[in-house]
Amino acid sequence: MDAGDRYSRQVIFPPIGEEGQRRLSDSFVAVIGCGGLGTMIASTLVRAGIGRTRIIDRDRIECHNLQRQVLFSEEDIHNGLPKAVAAERFLRKVNSSVEVEGIVADVDRASIEGLVAGADVIMDGMDNFEGRFLVNDVSLKHGIPWVYGSAVGSCGMTMSIIPGKTPCFRCLTGSQPPPGMPGTCDTAGIVGAAPSVIGALQSAQAIRILIGEDVSPQYLTLVDVWLGDFRRLRTGYRKDCPGCQGRYDYLEGRR
């Protein structure tokens, strides 16, 4: 299949162009988590021609996932497939000209540096704060940009973190919230459009980063798909942020 024709509508978009498309084809993105956010992110980036996409998730597909996780089918559940394996199989059929790698693994402080080594961008498809603090530490330590995203109920939010150029995740959130706060899909439910919209916004930010566009100053984007409400909040540095001061509490096991 002609790669020029595949990406032609993207290439004629002036901010991307031929040079931007070449940069995308040379890029490596690590997607951590393959739920509602991760499936949308992985689908969008593979279709956009990211040269190498690694999808990392430990879980198997369950029936309730099909409401919002766009890479899976009832057949995958019947076959007992892990999410990362099913996502890889599906996306290889979508775009055979790029590399898609599904890894069934826990992402913890012992494994994360190896899993994201060499990545140009890390994408957040997770559902817990501890994992995000861990990604934030790795991002700051190794200078890898990452795109935060979360969605629950009908709401979601996203922000890009560029080490040395933007505030980090701990600047935004401070300390880890108590267990059960905020709500989860299990407790508050989820409208399928929420992770789809947030995942699409995350993917657009990743493409901007990968083609070399300046995404600072940075904002936290908040969306309520039920009400059709979009807002942006300017983010700022915290003077006492341990991550920005080179203390990687989660990566080094102090938290």
Distance CA 193, CA 225 (A): 7
Distance CA 103, CA 95 (A): 18
Please pick, among 171, 185, 241, 244, the residue that the annotation labels catalytic: 185
- For residue 251, give both structure tokens: 């990566």
pLDDT band at 174 (very low <50, low <70, confident <90, very high): confident
Per-residue pLDDT at 216: 76
Percent of all residues in the chain with a pLDDT value above 70, rounded to a whole number: 94
Question: pLDDT per residue over 28-51, tens digit each?
Answer: 999 999 999 999 999 999 999 999
**CATH 3.40.50.1370 holds for 10-234:** no
**Cα–Cα distance list, 196 to 21, 40, 65 (Å):** 23, 6, 13
Mean pLDDT across 10-24:
98
| Contacts for 12 with CB less than 8 Å, ≥ 6 apart | none
In the numeric block, the tokens 């006492």 are attached to 240
Q: Enumerate the domain spans of the chain.
A: 10-234
Nearest to 112, CA basis, from 130, 97, 96: 130
Per-residue pLDDT at 173: 85
Chain-wide mean pLDDT for the chain? 93
Q: Is the pLDDT of residue 184 over 80?
A: no
**Cα–Cα distance list, 247 to 137, 170, 171, 180 (Å):** 8, 11, 13, 26
Nearest to 56, CA basis, from 134, 1, 4: 134
Question: pLDDT per residue over 191-245, tens digit each?
Answer: 999 999 999 999 999 999 999 998 877 799 999 999 999 999 998 999 999 999 9
The yes-or-no answer on residue 185 being catalytic is: yes
Q: Is the pLDDT of residue 151 over 70?
A: yes
Kindly report the pTM of this predicted structure. Answer: 0.94
Q: Is the pLDDT of residue 1 over 90?
A: no
